[in-house]
Structure formats: structure tokens, C-alpha cells
Amino acid sequence: MKRLLLTISVLILIFSACTDKFEDYNTDQKNPANVPASALFSNAQKELSDYYSNTNVNINIFLMMSQYWTETTYIDEANYDLVNRNIPANIWSRLYLRVLTDLKEAKNLIEATEVLPGLEARKKNQLQIIELLNIYTWSHLVDVFGAIPYTEALNPDNVYPAYDNGPAIYDDLFTRLNTALANLDETATSFGSADLYYGGDVSKWVKFGNSLKVKLAIITADDDDAFSKTAVEAAVANVFSSNDDNCLMAYMTSAPNYNQLYADLVASGRHDFVPANTLVDAMNTLDDPRRAAYFTMYEGSYIGGTYGYPNSWSQYSHISDLIQTPDFPGIMMTYPEVCFYLAEAAERGYSVDKTAEEWYNEGITASFAFWGVADVDTYLAKPEVAYTTAEGTWRQKIGIQSWIANYVNGAVGYNNWRRLDYPILNLPEWVEEYSGIPVRFTFPINEQTLNKDNYDAASTMIGGDLISTKLFWDKN
Amino acid sequence: MKTFVVPIIIKYISHVLEKLSALLINPKICCMKRLCVFLACLVFVGINTLQAQRTVQITGTVTSAEDGMPIPGASVQVKGTTVGASTDADGKYLLNAPDNATTLVFSFVGLKTQEVEIGGRTSIDVVLEVDALTLEEIVVTALGISREKKSLGYAVQEVKGDEVNQVKGDNFLSQLSGRVAGVQIKSNTNFGGSNNIIIRGSSSLTGNNQALFIVDGIPIDNSNTNNSGQVSGRNGYDYGNAASDINPNDIESISVLKGAAATALYGSRAANGVVLITTKKGFNTAGKGPQVKLSSNVTFSTMDKSTFPEYQLEYGAGYGKYYYSDVEDGHPGFEYYADVNGDGITDFTVPYYEDASRGEKFDPSVMVYQWDALYPESPNYLKATPWVAGANGPDTFFETGIIKSENIDISGGNEKTTYRLGYTYFDQNGIMPNSILKKNNVIFTGTQKMFNDKVTVTSSANYIKTNGTGRPSTGYSDNIVSGFRQWYQVNVDIQQQKEMYDLTEQNITWNPSEYSNLAPAYWDNPYWVRYQNYETDGRSRFIGYTQLDWDITSDLKATTRYAIDTYSELQEERKAVGSGSGEFGVGRPDVTSGYSRYARDFQETNFDFMLTYRKKIADMLDLSALAGTNIRRTRSESVFVSTNNGLAVAGLYALSNTIDPMDLPEESLRIIGVNGIFGSISLGVLDTYYIDATIRRDQSSSLPTDNNTFIYPSVTGSIIFSNLLKQDWLTLGKLRVNYAEVGSSAPPLSVKDTYLANSPFSGNSMATVSNTKLNSNLLPERQKAIEGGLEMNFFRSRVGFDLAFYKNNTINQLMPVSISFATGFASKWVNAGEIENKGVELALNGTPVKSGDFSWDISVNWAKNVNKVIELYVDESGNEVKNLQLAGLQGGVTINATVGEPYGTIKGTDFLYHENGGKLVNPANGRYYKSSANDIVIGDVNPDWNAGIRNSFRYKDISLSFLIDMQQGGDIFSLDLWYGMATGLYKETAGLNDLGNDLRDPITYVNDDPTQGYASNSGGLIEEGVFEDGTPNTVRRNQENYGAIGYALDPNKRFVYDASYIKLRELAITYNLPHSLVSKISMASASISFVGSNLWIIHKNLPYADPEASQGSGNIQGWQSGVMPATRNFGFTLNLQF
């Protein structure tokens, strides 16, 4: 009997003595508590490119907004249904949660790391490169929504971040951009191979930063021409000088590291998209040889699906095989894109080394080169293409050609259409409730419940949370 | 006759041995488990062969002391055995007792049980006295403590094991439905699927709301391992919940502890109520050898057609009539671009790559090339066929399911030792082709008394092996049934798909991409999916304990118990080379083939030590006290890994067969430690006044270490007022009231932030910040519950009721509250929020008729719970979060917790309404206006009330019982109808309109002039609604194309249905073979039963589906997509006892 009592007592002692392990129990043994900053930076780069280069109807519908493509059977997004799939919330989720937070964390980790004096320059470069990606991402968010939480964003202790208006954010982004450019040191290294865009080449980042400055300045030129002039003229000497400088994400051939366009177009096994007649007809008119790189032929010709209407997939041109390869690069910013900004700058009377026509031709030439299409001279000589003889104002000429050249970069196409009002997009009238092509995206619906007061204030600030509310830089 | 019985026994025994030996050589079982099984085997083998015993016939009459009348249906039993008989209409009995029987036990409800020594007599008459306090009913309460029910200050409801064991099914939980007031069970239609069990409403905002299962004092894990994609309605399988491992054959009784006061001693995890199960044990058979029971069942399942779509059979493949614009040819719904037969002339082809039925109208005179013209293996290769509806619809895809269940139960013992060995084999084929579920369950329990009977050691070992093959997939995508309900062409003959699969074993689908590319567009051949893309799963589980009870003195008793519940499970999913693309494996990319493995190991150990003290003081005061400790460790570890980008070699399901290097596996390790101490004290005065108090302190590893203990109390009181009133008609009257608090700990790993690693990119490591911000200042959440009840029995317990009222508030909830994405996080762990549940439960029992050979018993359960989210999260500056989204689902609806609303609101788009209540119609197109906001409350998943009525009748040797189970209210959003109406599958989408024209005809006007009104041949329909000025709608709505009704052009609200139902849940007719016959073949008893379950859905408001169907158990309910039809089950059971 005593033995029994003893045994029980011992058992109790053994068991009740093990609370010291409680700390270990509640420590995650399968996920890291510490990671290198470069791992967060690489991840943010990939997430940014994945977001930018996809055509998932839940996330990125800019290929429809720019009428490069249209849908076959399920035509809601081509008819601008932003609500059914919560597209605005998904954009925020991608950019705030996956890109900006990781960039912020990478920055914090780098800043907190003491380095040897010899590595100070590298550390500084890393911080500037992070800053450039931040600026790129923030400006995209402004371009889509008009106003966004910015100064109060990315702080989980403030769960009700106020919105900042677009012009104020852009002002701050220019300041940040100038600071970053001033602090980049081309003689030093940066992230090395962890930089998935430029392999750590700081000189490329300098060009990227200056090109980005031109881009942002041209986007806002209708709002503050004098400011943009100064900005563009300060940057023009150091922008991209050829396709070699393009900011691309070199995707790989297998999941999860292949191009997200491949995931949506090929791996999904679905046939949801065909090139839109808007683009195909325009290129047919110009007999544009880039069609072979952009589309496939249907029965010997290029036929685009009627924008916004149901289209039988079998009976139209398809997206080219090149674009549907798994390692097709993610296009973040290209030389042709920048050329057209500079052509526009020249037309606005900014001093940009070359004339509008020269930059226009350079843009088209670089675009042919980028897509591996020959015989650009013949194309440039066509009266409908040649800058002096092509139809319309500079807004029309540059609008049409930059639209064609920026193919598959839907966000740029959508921006340029809003600024330049060209090309003339088709009105989808299949859905009878249709009421105009959106000139901005509405705020995520969950902001109305999770951040209501600030949502209301922001709606008032921009003139209503509507798809018809124009952005501050969209003057016409 | 004996020669008939013996072979059956031999067959059973050899079957059992075969299964046991299979278990022994299974390498997955660890050594300890193997040892236990081995020991169980030894005992089994050691059992003597059965021998016929000599019996003595005893007869007599049982009468009532009250009126001297004979009592029919009284039970007479040989003490210590199950040999017994019941009295006939004249109160007479005849019993064949073993010759060594010493005592008979006479009993009847409402009367005092009497034991009579046989003393060599062959005729024994007995007079039974009225039992003043009939309900000396003993029930099992928390920690396995048996208490007199009358002394309890809280509600406990018991269900006998036999009740849940009549119907053989894969999950005994289904059988509890409708039997206990306040327990809401949702038996979904998934084969082998999980059942949702909620007691007194959901109390946790984001935590687990499922009841806790305790078997013989051991908490039994009831995890549902369905992955997050499956739970939120993407594709996947419902792997069931782990409590379905409990074998109904082993259940002696179930006691449901509903309120916090009843469960307070169990601590934090029992806040959702407890289902307490007591298993059968061996007993003293006084050296007469073991008692053997055999039971064999076969059950057939067929589809309940009221839960499957009725299709329109007028229009076939296509999303509209826009495939061929040259209307001169008259077939705009066909395509006209391919030369299928190669004769140089373009042919009309069906848009076979589409998955809708809004195409051309059927016309047998039109010949067209369909899917079967494209495959060389097809008899119709290159042949056009008449354009008609498929001869065999999707309903013919479902087969007749069969369940076979066999059980052997051997028990016995003597004064010192008892034992029981049970073995059950269960084998089920579902109504989907190639769906199989097998279970082997062996249990051994033994007790041994020692040290002058002061110490009793009890040991139990239960080994359960469950294997599933081909569970049906669930959810929106990659689910055959969502195809049938949402995306289908009614021109397809499903049996032709079967023939093609049987012939070729290839994925010859009705839905190829193009005539020049036969890869599946969206849907595979359904038979290919069933026979090639099937999952397999297995769970190997050991549950065991050793318990030592020591009577230190006559008043003081000590109990120690060490219990373990451990299992390994493996889920393997396959996608065969040649399948259509779909989400699969780690990261859910779209692939056309693949193989994945999810392996999980679970282990929980509980060590309990308790001291109990009981003393009766001066005949008027009953005192009992208890103190104890519980030490719990739970560990769950899982790995999910899959091939990447497909399988290199077809048919080889191995990870090494991956095409690209595998993506990072998903690993999880979660450990919980809880150390608890508890105590209670109970006082009873004059058998009339009772008071109980408990207190428990828990220390939990999942809370911040510097603040990880919490204490919670309960107090209950009751008064048996019938003792004061002393009225003849009032058998029992009791009032009870209680108050309790229960604390709950956080889920593990919610305190310290970590990063998440992503797949490396070209040699660069990748990591990201988690989307959920953790919180190092979490506090335990707390439930405060108050309950009152009234229990009365009248007329010697012929009629009685038990009424309970309760109110539970769970405050300080631990939850990841959704926050603006602009914070950089999607959610943040906080202590916040309050949910209130209040309700009424009523249980009625009665025996309306009890005369002669006939008796009728009835029991009714009714419960209403009102749930309300009082508050979610208010930050320091007073900003309030008003909504917590639990899930965002396909169709744009969300399931939410919203302040001021019940937990589980369905939100989406609504109609716009006129002030007179009418739905506003757009005069431009005859469609309903739709709200621009999509966060309007359009439904509530909580039922208004649930009820069950059980009737049982007995006439001589035949008994009949049936259970009607009902639910009033609760809402469901049907994605099936939302899409299926848009794609034109259902019969409502075709037929004639009010003008007698085809609905789908174009809308036409007199002289083509809309101002002159509609032409007499106009199609379209007029929706019921009003214009903005309140006048009734007169505008026709076009019905030609995809989305003409349903989907994006209608508000979600249109597809929210009332989930009420009335079901004939169970029907059983049992015939007990006459004892005179049975005894001749040396059996104690024998019976044969017809048992049916879910035979008839008497009423429901949801068309074409079972309102209980869902994607599985958990907090996300009220949404249906591709749900399996319900099954009607009926079968026969043979029970033999020796």
C-alpha cells in the first residue's frame, strides 16, 4: 500500500515539474524567427513581379482595362465588374501584405545591422534599392486608386490608417526618389544575386531610378507641368539607354517560380482570354509586323475577340506562344516605355536631348528589338506611322504607338489611356448596366467595414469612391 | 440447430483472428500497440469453446402493489447475466435460467427494482412496489464521476448505446441527431464526411466550437484535418472528423453535459460542452464462461432524388446562341468552322468545350457532331448524331451503396476479474463509384481487484484502423457534383461516358477543348476521375488507459489514470496523367497530374489524480468532496508534400516521380501543455437540498509564459420540492440553478511572430512576413454561464419533462481580428469580443399507452438557441470593428460575425426594395436591381429551433421505433443554383412563359416597336416585383443566354434558402425470436431488425439538395457547392446472444 502511495506521489511530481518546457512548446519550431534581409527583399521583388505579370481575374485585370485582351465565355472583368471578385481588395492584399511589408521589414533589418566600415556603402545601396521598389509600388497604388493609406500605413499598431491624397503622396515620392538617387553609389555592391531584377548591379538601379523619375513626372505632367519639367530634365541624362537596361524579372521554368501569365494561360488549362479586337484591329490597320510576336493567326489572319462580348475561343487569334512560355520575363519597366515618355516630354517643351519624333522612333525601334521583330524601318516609313504624317495630335500618335509598344504591360497601357485619351477604347455594351470605362478602381469593400471613418474621409477627399472619379493627374 | 450456430461462430472467430493477425503484422503500429493487441489476442484465444449449459425453467406473474393488476412488459433477468425475459400481457413470464443461477431481478419503470433468491423454486410470483423517487437514476458526470441525477444542479441528458447503434453508419454522431435537446448536429452528405456538433450555440468567434468527446474519462481528439482550401469551398476532400473512430458497438451510454457548470471541472477545452461516452465493460458471469454476442448488418444506400437536380431537357451545350453569327443557317448556338469528317465541307459542331446548357434547342431532326465524334475509340467517331437530350442523366452516375458491419462481443469475469473483448468490422461502399470505407476496431477492457479488493486496476486498449478510398471531392472546382449541379451539358449521356471509360480507361471527356485538341477544357470524364484520380487515406489509432482505484478508507478513495490517444494518418491524393488542369498539392498551382501526401501524427496524454471523499452524516447530510490534478500534453505534427508540375511517368504515384523539383513541404508542429488542479465540494441535505461548488486552475503553455494561469469557479444548487409537497401525482419535482465560468486558452503559436519561408528562387532564399500579427499580451478568454431548470415527473413517471433556460456569454475572445490591409497585415491577434447564447431546452417523456401486450413510449426534444455577437473589437481610442469575416466564398458571399447579429451571418448583395416591400425591377431590362454593396446581411446560418420526436411501440415480441428530426430556420446560400440557373441546367430555366412561348425565345414586340407592346410570340419572363413608383413589373426579362438568371445579374439574396427540414431520421422494426425457440439452440436471445435511416425528407424548402449538406464541419456553414445528394439507407441486422 505504501509503495502504491509512493508511486503515485512520484508520478505527480514528475508530471507537475514540466512547466519549464512551456516556453518551448509555444515556440514555433517549423518557421524561422530570424531571416536575412535579402530573403525578404528577393521575396518582395518576386511578389511585385508576380502581381504585375499576371492575368488572374481576381487580381490583375489591366490587360482588359487597356483592351489588349478580352475574355471568351466569362466576360465580367472585360465588363468592368470589380466587385464580384473583390479585385481592389486583392490588389491591396498583394501589394501591402506581400510587397510593401516585406520591403519595410528588409529595410528595418538592414538598418539594424551593424556593418564593418568597408561594407557601409553596400548597406547604403541596399537601402536605396529598397526605396526605389517602394516608390514604384506606391505610385502604382496611387495610379489605381487615387488615394491610399500612406503615411500611416504599414503599422499594425494603428489599425485605422488615414488615407493620403494622390498629389501629396506623389510629392513625397519625388522627394524620396531624389534622396535615393543621391545616395546610390555605383562603385559599391548591393544585393548581389539576391537582386532578382538586376543581379545587384547598382548602375542599372541608377538608370532605373532616373527612368522611374521620368515616368512619375510624365504621369503627373498635366497636373504640375513646371515641376515635371524640372524632374524630367534632371533625370534624362541617366535613364535607360537600351533594352539591356530593362527592368525584368527573369522567371524560371517550374512552379512556383514561373511567370504568372503561364500559370493563368497555360497551366490552368483554361481558355479565358483572346487578344481584343481593339488592339488587333489597330495593328491590322498599320499592318504591324509585331503581330506575329503578339498573337497567333486564325485561318491566315489576325482576328481579335470583340471586346467585352462573349467570344468563341476557337475562332479568334490567340496570345502568342512566346508570351505563354513559363520563363517569359516579368516586365517591370522597359526602354521603349521610357522612350515614349521622353517623346511626350519633348512635345511638352522639356529639354530631353532628342526631339519628340526621335524618341518616338527610338521607342518603336526598341519595341521591335525587344520582341525580336525585324524591318522596323519599313514600318516607321509608313505614312500612318511616321511621326510627321500619322493622324492626330501628339497625344494620339504617342498614345497609339506607346500602347502597341507596351503590350502585355496592362498597367502602363491603362495609365497612358487615361492620361492621353488614346487609343479610343471600345465600349462593351453587352452588359446593359454598363456605365463608362472606369478611370479608377474603387477602394476595397472591406475598407468600408475595417476602416470606415478613413474610408469615408478619403471618398470625400477625392470626390467620391466611384469608378468615374478622375485621378488628380487625369485632366481630360 | 446447433450445427447451424456453430459454423457461424467459427466463421466469426476465424474472421476476427484473421483481422487481428493482419493488425499485428502491420508495421505502422508501434511496439506498445502491438503488445496490447497481442495481449487482447491471448485473452481471446484463451476463451473456452462455447458449451451448452443446462437450464431450469422458471415461471411466474408480476403484479403491481398499487392496484394489484398484472404488469406487462416487466423485465425479469438472471442476476449478473443478460439472460432474461419480459412479462406478457397478463404479467406472466417464462425464463430458462442457467441451473447455477441464484437470483432473479425484476424491474419496471416507475417501480422499485426487486431481487429475489431463486432457492430452487421454479415458480416465482412478485409484487413490485411503487418507487416514491423513481429516478434513482445514476448518470455519469464530469471526470467520469457517477452521480444520482436528482442531486445535480445542471442539465444532463443521457442516450443509451443501443439507440445510436441501430443504424450502421460511418459516423455515430449522425445517430445522435434529434435525440438530445440543445445539441445541434449537422450530418453532411459527404461519404465518410465530418459532422458538425454544436452544443448550445457557437460561443467562440474564430476558435473551435465543436463539442469535446470523452470516452471513459479520456478526451478523444476530434480534429478535422480538411485543409483551409477545402473548408473555404475550393476543391478537396472531407476526411471526416476523428471522433468517428468511436465504435457505436462499444457504447454503453452517452451523457451530454451541456452547460459550463456541468463541464467546469474539465477546464478550458470543454467550454463547448461535452459528449461523455461510457463503454461497455465485462461483468461477473460467475464462472459460467463468457457471454458472446454476435451482430451482423447489411445496409443499402440509394440516392434521395429530392436532393438532386431536375434538369431541363430542351436545350444543350453552350453559353448562348452566339457561336456562329450567320443566322441564315439557323444554328447560332452551334459552331461552324471545323471540317470534322474530312469531306471538305465545314460541319456544325456542338460547343462541347463549354460547360453550360444554354445552347441550341434540341431537335432530333438536326444532325450535329458532338464530343463522341472526336475520339477514334468512339463508336460515333466522325459521325453526326441527332441533337437530343442525353438518354441517361447524371443521376444514373450514382450507384447503390452497401454497408456491411459485423461485430463480436465477448465478455465475462468473476468476483476479482472482468474482461470484455469487442471486435467490429465495417465496410462501406458509397453511392459514388469507387468509394470505399473500411474500419477495423478492436477493444479490450479488463479489471482486476487486488489488495483485499481495496484496489481495482482497470486497463483498456482500443485499436482502430480506418481506411478510405475515393472519398468524393467537395467544393466549387474539380468536383464532379459541382459539375452536375453547376456546369454541365444536358445533351451528354453519362452512361456513354462510362462505356468510353470502361472501353479505354482513358480520359475521354464530354468536354474536350477543341476538335483539334482533345485535352479537357474544364471537366474530365467523371468515371476517369473516380477510378484514376481517387484519394486514399488511412488512420491507425490507439486509445488506451490504465486506471487505479484505491479505496483508502470506506469514505476516501483515490484514483489515478494515465491515458493516451495517439494516431498516425496519411492522406494521399492523385491526379492521373491525362487529367484536366486543376489546383493540386502544395501551394495549389494548376497542374494536369500529380501526387501529394499529407501525413499527420497526433498524440495526447492525460495524467489524472483524484481524491474523493464521501460521507453521510447523521442520516441527513451527504457530503462529498474531490480534489485532483490533470496534466495534459498534446502534440500534433504534420507534413504536406507533393510533386511539382506533374508526374514524369504515368501511373507511378511516388514523390520521386515529380517532373520539376518539389516545392517546399508544408510542415507544422503544435504542442500544448496544460497543468490543471481542481476541487469540488457537494452537500446534500435530507435528500432534498443540494449544493455543489467547483474550482479549477489551469496553466497553459499557449499563453504568454508570465501570465499563463487562470482560475474559474462554478456553483450549482437544486431543491427537490416534491419531497416537500408530497403529492401522489407528483413523482419528482426539482428546481435547479447554477452559475459557472470557464476559461479558454489561446491556440498554440499565437504569441511570438515568425517569418514564413517561401521556395528558393534560383538559389536565393525567400522569406516573407506573416500576414497575421501575433500578440505577446494575450489573456485567456472566459465564458460566463447561468442556467436554471425545472424537472417534473408525474403519475409514477408515466409523464415527465425537463426544462432548462440558460445564458452564456463568452468574453475576452482570443481571435485574429481582420484589420485594414494597409496596416501590412490581414489580421492581428487580440483579446476582444463577446458572444451571447441564450436558450430554452425542453425534453418530454411519456408512456401514453401501457396495457397488455402493447406499449407506446414517446420522447420529445425541443431546443431554441438565440445567438448574438455583442461586441468584436474596440481599440484604445474607441474605434470599433463591427464585422469579422470568417470566410469569403465563391459567388461573392461571405460568412461573418457581425456586431448585433447572430454568429454566422451570410453577407452578399441584396435586392433593392420598394417601401411597400416589393423587389425593385429595372424597367430597362426586367431584371432585379442589385445593391451596389456586397456586405448586406442576407442570411443567418443559425436555426430558430431544433426538435426530435421519438416514438417506440412494442407489441409482444415486435417493437417499432422511429425518430423524426426537424430544424426550423437557418439559411443557406446555394452556389449550385446561383451558377446552375445561369448555365441553364435546372428545369426552371426552360419551358413556357405566361404567353405560352418558350422562355428562352427572344423578346419580340408588335411590329418590332417596343412602344407597341410585346408580340404574342415573345419569350422572356416577367419577374415578380415592382417599379420604382410601386406599380407591378410588366417588363420581360430575356432568358436566352448565360447569366439570364442567376450569377452576376441577380443579387446573392435570390439564392439564399431557408434550411428548415423535417426528416424521418430513423425507423427500426425488431422481432425478438421467442425464447422457447431460442433456448433450444442454446442461445440467450436472438433478434432480427429492419433498420432504415434518412428514409424520407418529409419537408424542406431548399430545392434539389439536402439542407444539412455542407463542405464539412467547422465554423464556415451556410454555403453549398457541389454537395453530394443525400442517401436513403435501409438494411437488416441480426443479433445473437449466447
Q: Render pLDDT for B1087-1115 as a digit per residue (tens, 0 to 9).
A: 999 999 999 999 999 999 999 999 888 88
CA distance A244 to chain B (A): 21
Highest mean pLDDT out of B37-41, B118-122, B594-598: B594-598
- Please, what is the average pLDDT of chain B? 88
CA separation for the pair B164, B59 (Å, rounded): 33
Is B749 within 8 Å of A315 when comparing Cβ atoms? no
Q: What is the mean pLDDT of residues B7-30?
A: 47
Could you tell me the CA-to-CA distances from B250 to B79, B164, B1134 in Å, in that order? 22, 11, 17
Mark B157-180 as b/e (b = at least 16 C-beta within 10 Å): bbbebebbbbbbbbbbbbbbbbbb
Q: What is the mean pLDDT of residues B352-375?
A: 95
CA distance A303 to chain B (A): 14
Residues 1007-1066 of B with CB under 8 A from A: 1041-1042, 1048
pLDDT computed for residue A101 by the predictor:
98
Is A12 within 8 Å of B768 when comparing Cβ atoms? no
Nearest to A226 by CA among A349, A354, A135: A349
Helix axes A335-347, A225-235, angle to 10 degrees: 130
Residue labelled with grid coordinates 443557406: B972
* Bridge partner list, B965: B948, B1063
Q: How far is CA B265 from the centre of its chain?
A: 26
CA separation for the pair A255, A263 (Å, rounded): 8
Nearest to B723 by CA among B691, B687, B685: B687
3-state secondary structure of A377: helix
Residue B330 vs residue A116, higher pLDDT: A116
pLDDT computed for residue A450 by the predictor:
85
pLDDT computed for residue B45 by the predictor:
37
DSSP single-letter state for residue B1023? -
pLDDT computed for residue B64 by the predictor:
79
Q: How far is CA A59 from the centre of its chain?
A: 12
Nearest to B672 by CA among A271, A25, A230, A146: A25
- What are the contacts of B127-132 at 24+ separation with CB within 8 A? B127/B62, B127/B63, B127/B64, B127/B65, B128/B62, B128/B63, B128/B64, B128/B65, B128/B71, B128/B74, B129/B65, B130/B64, B130/B65, B130/B66, B130/B796, B131/B796, B132/B731
The answer to whether residues B38 and B24 touch, using CB atoms and an 8 Å cutoff, is yes
Confidence of residue B289 (pLDDT cuts 50, 70, 90): confident
Which class for B527: exposed (0-12), middle (13-18), buried (19 or more C-beta within 10 A)?
A: buried
Residue B724 vs residue B6, higher pLDDT: B724
Residue labelled with grid coordinates 445496409: B299
pLDDT computed for residue B435 by the predictor:
96
CA separation for the pair A203, A245 (Å, rounded): 10
The pTM is what? 0.88
Residue B823 has pLDDT above 70, yes or no: yes
Of A27, A86, A158, the CB nearest to B823: A158
Q: How many CB atoms lie within 10 A of CB B903?
A: 26
Q: What is the mean pLDDT of residues B956-960?
A: 91
Is B353 within 8 Å of A451 when comparing Cβ atoms? no
Nearest to B1120 by CA among B474, B303, B158: B474
Mark A12-22 as b/e (b = at least 16 C-beta within 10 Å): eeebeeebeeb
Q: How far is CA A317 from the centre of its chain?
A: 26
Confidence of residue B772 (pLDDT cuts 50, 70, 90): very high
pLDDT computed for residue B19 by the predictor:
52
* Bridge partner list, B1058: B971
Confidence of residue B795 (pLDDT cuts 50, 70, 90): confident
Residue B31 has pLDDT above 60, yes or no: no
pLDDT computed for residue B35 by the predictor:
39
CA distance A314 to chain B (A): 7
Q: Does B587 touch chain A (CB under 8 A)?
A: yes
Confidence of residue B51 (pLDDT cuts 50, 70, 90): very low
Confidence of residue B66 (pLDDT cuts 50, 70, 90): low
Mark B1037-1060 as b/e (b = at least 16 C-beta within 10 Å): bbbbbbbbbbbbbbbbbbbbbbbb
Which residue numbers in chain A have pLDDT < 50? none
Contacts of A452 (CB under 8 A, 6+ apart): B882
One-letter amino acid for residue A170 of the chain? Y
The answer to whether residues B216 and B454 touch, using CB atoms and an 8 Å cutoff, is no
Q: What percent of chain B has pLDDT over 90?
A: 60
Residue B398 has pLDDT above 90, yes or no: yes
pLDDT computed for residue A238 by the predictor:
97
H-helix or E-strand spanning residue B1021: none
Probe site for chain B from A50, A152, A254, A467 (most B CB atoms < 10 A): A254
Of A8, A92, A257, the CB nearest to B761: A257
pLDDT computed for residue B617 by the predictor:
86
The set of cell numbers assigned to A132 is: 526605389
Q: Does B455 touch chain A (CB under 8 A)?
A: yes
CA distance B332 to chain A (A): 12
The answer to whether residues A291 and A280 touch, using CB atoms and an 8 Å cutoff, is yes
End-to-end CA distance of chain B: 14
Which residues of chain B have a CB within 8 Å of the CB of A315? Answer: 323, 335, 337
Of B338, B580, B763, the CB nearest to A269: B580
The answer to whether residues A193 and B763 touch, using CB atoms and an 8 Å cutoff, is yes
CA separation for the pair B100, B55 (Å, rounded): 8
pLDDT computed for residue B4 by the predictor:
44
Residue B261 has pLDDT above 70, yes or no: yes
Q: How confident is the model over B875-894, as pLDDT tens digits? A: 777 778 888 888 888 888 99
Residue B41 has pLDDT above 90, yes or no: no
Residue B106 has pLDDT above 90, yes or no: no
Could you tell me the CA-to-CA distances from B1041 to A70, B326, B951 in Å, in that order? 19, 18, 51
Q: How confident is the model over B617-674, as pLDDT tens digits? A: 888 898 999 999 999 999 999 999 999 999 999 999 999 999 998 999 999 999 999 9
Interface pTM, i.e. ipTM: 0.94
H-helix or E-strand spanning residue A4: helix A2-16
Q: How far is CA B333 from the centre of its chain?
A: 44
Residue B241 vs residue A235, higher pLDDT: A235
Q: How confident is the model over B304-323, as pLDDT tens digits? A: 999 999 999 999 999 998 88
Confidence of residue B40 (pLDDT cuts 50, 70, 90): very low
CA separation for the pair B582, B90 (Å, rounded): 70
pLDDT computed for residue A94 by the predictor:
96
Q: What is the CA radius of gyration of chain B?
A: 32
Which residues of chain A have a CB within 8 Å of the CB of B901? Answer: none
pLDDT computed for residue B516 by the predictor:
84
Is A193 within 8 Å of B763 when comparing Cβ atoms? yes
CA distance A274 to chain B (A): 15
Q: How many CB atoms lie within 10 A of CB B130?
A: 16
Q: What is the CA radius of gyration of chain A?
A: 25
Probe site for chain A from B761, B819, B896 (most A CB atoms < 10 A): B761
Q: Count residue pairs from A and B with Cβ separation < 8 A.
A: 278
The set of cell numbers assigned to B246 is: 468511436
One-letter amino acid for residue A301 of the chain? S
Q: What is the mean pLDDT of residues B34-63?
A: 54
pLDDT computed for residue B595 by the predictor:
97
CA separation for the pair A194, B763 (Å, rounded): 9
Say if strands B274-279 and B212-215 run parallel, antiparallel, or are unpaired. Answer: parallel
CA separation for the pair B4, B1135 (Å, rounded): 15
Residue B23 has pLDDT above 50, yes or no: no
Of B514, B754, B824, the CB nearest to A28: B754
Residue A216 vs residue B193, higher pLDDT: A216
Q: Which of A431-435, B243-247, B270-274, B984-988 has the lowest mean pLDDT?
A: A431-435
Q: What is the mean pLDDT of residues B510-518?
A: 90
The answer to whether residues B702 and B748 touch, using CB atoms and an 8 Å cutoff, is yes
pLDDT computed for residue B360 by the predictor:
94
CA separation for the pair B476, B978 (Å, rounded): 12
